[in-house]
Structure 1
């Protein structure tokens, strides 16, 4: 990639309003605003959003430079300070040596062999959930946005904590939703009142945080009482048992403290069910418009899985088309639709420079819909990901559903496996029919949600 020691050219500044710059246009319709900028075919542009200077890059090459090749020059942007309020100092929000230590400790829990042991739990929970769906009124549309929140919550609780939380499901889901929406409000609001002020919003935030913390600390305390010999095969047990021998001088002799465990669990708990649920709802929305894809999915699923209510985990390795459907859905609707990084020092990129203190923006939503890389990018076509398909010909950073570089999402394989299982088992039991009056469009919050709950008739 072309880089120079000096930067004689000024990054094109996007015209905006006095004082507020591009803030109003961005927050009114960020996706359309970004796509308009992409069509202008600049290498990067300079935006002024929320009182900050932000530099948006468009190419896979420059995205790789920021996320991987020069990642040590980029820290977590101010946006992550908002997420820290309820996620704490987990893998998503921490940085530096602390992040590297936590990543090293957590990584073994996400090795393929460990995930394979969790697959059967996913399959069993999915089968039980499908039985419940079958007993519902099949003539009425199902709110699949909420339905997937429910089942992914069950799955993440069983795989993360080894716990059945059916009785607490509604409350936990509501609490996490409250935290998500309030974090997004603080992210976009120019006025952020201190959290200790007793405003109605702050009080809701405290109640939701207390509910989630009480649940997670309760599970951690119970495991501590059990002793290290009886931690189980779920992710919490793995995280408690793991010890970093290279970091024995850290508090806890190289093990995670209760606070660290809490932060990692809240991060996995929140991200692990919400992003998968949203992605699955988008997938069913796409399938209602493509019965030919549903037919091919069903043929593959029935051929491989047969009629077994609870198939073996090994069978899901032979479902390549289901994985292609998931990958194409993530291309069109990546949950992490934009990523921000704080430039710690000046960073020359070609003839431009991202200055120290500015925010660099990498946008998977734009990368995934760039017509120079993806022909007819708005079309849903799982064959893009088939062997020999267009994906194999592209720059690796043209497709970033889970980020890239050292901070690639640690749960990416967990999420792909879960989505593949949910999709393959659902298509054996239901047909997916649209609700004609429904008008769905993406709503870019912290994750790329639909503008309203997605309704689908499960025939």
Structure 2
């Protein structure tokens, strides 16, 4: 037996005592009540070792072949709530042809993400996205991850962030001002195109429209391929499109890299080419290509989802839209610098609440490196694990009226996000907490600032967005809004 299982004693008992407080509380329900959980035979994932005092992880396979993958993608929060109410914070389900253990709630997710005994590795991501984001920072483990993160950190210093903000501000202003007023756009798609355009400008200093469109399409295909149910290069399928997108991105970055190393610049690509630790460690050419492909994906997708969620909630709550607009207009007509963006307190509250209600990354994949236990449940070596922030963001013991949009919960003196270390975790946690969280937050605030100073937007009073979880959560209808010049 491993040391993790052998130490069930005091640690496991103390955690077990806290779990009933959470599991005895009914979780909130979303507005989407169309789905009712079907019943499948309950089974044990694996028998705990004799004499260990551990409990088995319970769950079910779901429908044949696809398991619960389709339900999870379509019904998001309702599916997660139902699984939690039936099985508690540690369970397993069938999906993508595998058995996947789900860890939900603050206590369970903390064990996996803090990962004191290194029982959980990033190998879990490889099942989903290795073919498309090979050796991106998120896929690296332990000492290697620490080294790469140290090198990459020099690309996200305060000085670098000041430069990125200086580049993205004018691009965002021009992009937003180009939107036609008095229209009803599908706002998600307008935001996605704009954030992709900004990413190619700020990350790569790419000026060619044709190149940008080609690269953007490749990124879209690689992201969608990660959750393909048919995981083979069938012509016309998402997996095949993702593989083509990866090859195109490798060629582009590989061919551009020598000139970028020579010429330098203020963009992220140039920053990675010159990134060096105090010990002289640098990235190889292959490292730079892999990290650029991953960072481009991570930056534009999460930014689009967050800004879409913020736009939706500001449309549903016009009093908050006007409050945020007043702060933006008070900055004057200059494109805001980093200090100005950081001063927009209302947008900061709205962004945090939007990230709580609609976490851009609803699950983080891990794989166990050895037999281990979570909250007294035995999980064997080699198990695929999904660590989910979704339930944490709605736990009644951490949040007041958790289904309600209430940005003030993040303001002093309430600070409900401090109720537990992992009550609010849209950027993950532990050693793999998002390295670009400050960059992403600044971009989102800059984008929303430009929207607020240029437009007012609204949705019908009875409109409720439905979110599609096929890859990452996006509004299924593209988020139609009424957009009018201010």
What's the TM-score, normalizing by structure 1? 0.87
Contact 2:67/2:94, CA 8 A, preserved across alignment: yes
Contact 1:31–1:444 (Cα < 8 Å) also in 2:
no
Q: In structure 1, what is the Cα distance between the partners aligned to 2:461 and 2:212?
A: 31
Question: Is the 1:402–1:409 Cα contact (8 Å) retained in structure 2?
Answer: yes
Give the SS at the match of 1:377: coil
- Contact kept, 8 Å, 1:65 with 1:71, in 2: the verdict is no
Q: Is 1:431 aligned to residue 456 of structure 2?
A: yes
Instruction: Give the drift of 1:99.
Output: 2.3
* Residue 234 of structure 1: how far off its partner (Å): 2.1
Cα distance change, pair 327–346 in 1 and its aligned pair in 2 (3 A): same
Instruction: Give unpaired runs (5+ residues) of structure 1.
Output: 249-253
Structure 1 CA distance for aligned equivalents of residues 377 and 68 of structure 2:
21
Are positions 1:183 and 2:226 aligned together? yes
Q: Deviations over 1:212-262 (max 9, x none)?
A: 3333233312213x2xxx41232222211123464x7xxxxx321221111
Q: Which residue does the alignment assign to 2:43?
A: none
Which residue in 1 is equivalent to 2:29? none
State the match for 1:124 in structure 2: 170
Q: For the Cα contact (< 8 Å) 1:7–1:353, is it kept in 2?
A: no
User: In the alignment, does 2:456 pair up with 1:413?
Assistant: no
Question: After the TM superposition, which of the residue ranges 61-70 and 30-39 deviates more from structure 2?
Answer: 30-39
Displacement after TM superposition at 1:122 (Å): 1.8
Distance in 2 between residues matched to 1:17 and 1:174, nearest whole Å: 33
Question: 1:87, 1:266 within 8 Å by CA — same for their partners in 2?
Answer: yes
- C-alpha root-mean-square deviation of aligned residues, in Å? 2.6
Q: What's the offset of the Cα at 1:38? A: 2.4
1:146 and 2:189 matched:
yes
Give the TM-score, by structure 2 length.
0.82
Aligned to 2:266, which of 233, 238, 242? 233
Report the 3-state secondary structure (helix = DSSP H, G, I; strand = E; otherwise coil) of the residue aligned with 2:382. Answer: coil
Q: Secondary structure at the match of 1:6?
A: coil
Determine the C-alpha separation between the residues in 2 that align with 1:279 and 1:355: 36
Change (3 A) 1:437 1:211: farther
Residue of structure 2 aligned with 1:452, choices 469, 472, 477:
477
CA gap of 1:23–1:154, structure 2 versus 1, over 3 A, is closer
> What CA distance in whole angstroms lies between the structure 1 residues aligned with 2:326 and 2:76?
39
User: Is 1:267 aligned to 2:276, yes or no?
Assistant: no
Structure 1 residue 106: deviation in Å?
0.4
| Deviation of 1:40 (Å) | 4.3
Could you tell me how far apart the structure 1 residues matched to 2:166 and 2:335 are? 8
Q: Give yes or no for contact 2:90–2:108 (8 Å, CA) kept in 1.
A: no
- The structure 2 residue matched to 1:162, chosen from 205, 230, 239, is 205
Deviation by residue 1:327-378 (Cα, 9 ceiling, x = unmatched): 1111111110111211111222332222222223221122112222112211
How many positions carry a matched residue from both structures? Answer: 438
User: What is the SS of the residue equivalent to 2:88?
Assistant: coil
In the alignment, does 2:35 pair up with 1:8?
Answer: no
Partners of 1:351 and 1:211 in 2: how far apart?
46
**Residue among 155, 171, 188 paired with 2:214:** 171
The aligned runs of 1:24-423 (5 Å cut-off) are 25-26=71-72, 29-40=75-86, 42-70=88-116, 72-133=118-179, 136=180, 138-185=181-228, 189=229, 191-193=230-232, 195=233, 204-224=241-261, 226=262, 230-244=263-277, 246=279, 254-303=281-330, 305-306=331-332, 308-423=333-448
